[in-house]
Amino acid sequence: MSKVRVAAFTVSMDGFGAGPAQSLEHPLGRGGEALHAWAWPTRTFQRMFGKDAGTTGPDEDFAASSFDNVGAWILGRNMFGPIRGPWPDEEWKGWWGPSPPYHVPVFVLTHHARAPLEMAGGTTFHFVTDGIQTALAQARAAAQGRDVRIGGGVAVIRQYLEAGLIDEMHLAIAPAVLGAGEALLAGIDLRRLGFEPSRHVGTANALHVVLTKPARAGA
């Protein structure tokens, strides 16, 4: 059964999913690089950068499984790039170079229309201006029975959570304190939304927690 899920999304010990002042120089915000120290060394992430090496073990297992059965992604505009307001041109094509790591359709939430952007390796970015429900409907259709992954950022995950549209979350809690930034769960009642922890695994680099809730009828 297909799911709408968050996977391999990292938060600091004080609950921030990104640091303050995100920019071209600091795409994760100031100090945000510390969040992903568990992920960068893994075999899955190293292969994204063309390297054959990489760590194995539980961190790698979670990194690899985050891509399993994913047929489409949904991203916020900040996850696509640092440009704000109307698109000045179509020069910006994402953070990842000519071959992004998605390899499936990606739906980018934005207030400003842009033509679809086809990249190498099977990734096509579609820019959705009609809100989260429209993006999810398009992503479900594109996924063809596979999962839809809500990639972030924080604001996008919060919107889907508050709308009751996420079935499963894997959060990696990093041993880092940011002090400020974008709080993922502030004011959100996960128990009211039906989530319960179903698995947790600690490593030297992160505490991995999986939260699930009953599947929606017809999902």
Report the pLDDT value the prediction gives residue 60, as an integer from 0 to 100.
97
Q: Is 199 helix (H, G, I), strand (E, B) or coil?
A: strand
129-163: pLDDT as tens digits: 999 999 999 999 999 999 999 999 999 999 999 99
**Residues facing residue 4 across a β-bridge:** 148
pLDDT above 90 as % of the chain: 78
| CA gap 18, 196 in Å, rounded | 24
- Three-class SS string for 7-30? EEEEECCCCEEECCCCCCCCCCCC
Report the pLDDT value the prediction gives residue 83, as an integer from 0 to 100.
84
Q: Is 107 helix (H, G, I), strand (E, B) or coil?
A: strand
110-131: pLDDT as tens digits: 999 999 999 999 999 999 999 9
Superfamily of domain 4-18+27-83+98-202: Dihydrofolate Reductase, subunit A (3.40.430.10)
Domain boundaries along the sequence of the chain: 4-18+27-83+98-202
Report the pLDDT value the prediction gives residue 216, as an integer from 0 to 100.
53
Rank 81-95, 114-128, 205-219 by mean pLDDT and report only the highest. 114-128
At residue 10, φ and ψ (nearest 5 deg) are -100, 140
Report the pLDDT value the prediction gives residue 215, as an integer from 0 to 100.
56
| CA gap 74, 152 in Å, rounded | 7
The sign of the CA dihedral 72, 73, 77, 82 is negative
Label residues 93-121 b or e (16+ Cβ within 10 Å = b).
ebeeeeebebebbbbbbbeeebeebebee
pLDDT average, residue stretch 189-196: 96
Task: List the strands of the sheet with 117-118, edge to edge.
Answer: 117-118, 124-128, 105-109, 70-76, 147-152, 4-11, 168-173, 207-212, 196-202
7-53: pLDDT as tens digits: 999 999 999 999 987 777 777 888 888 999 999 999 999 988 788 88
pTM (global) more than 0.95: no
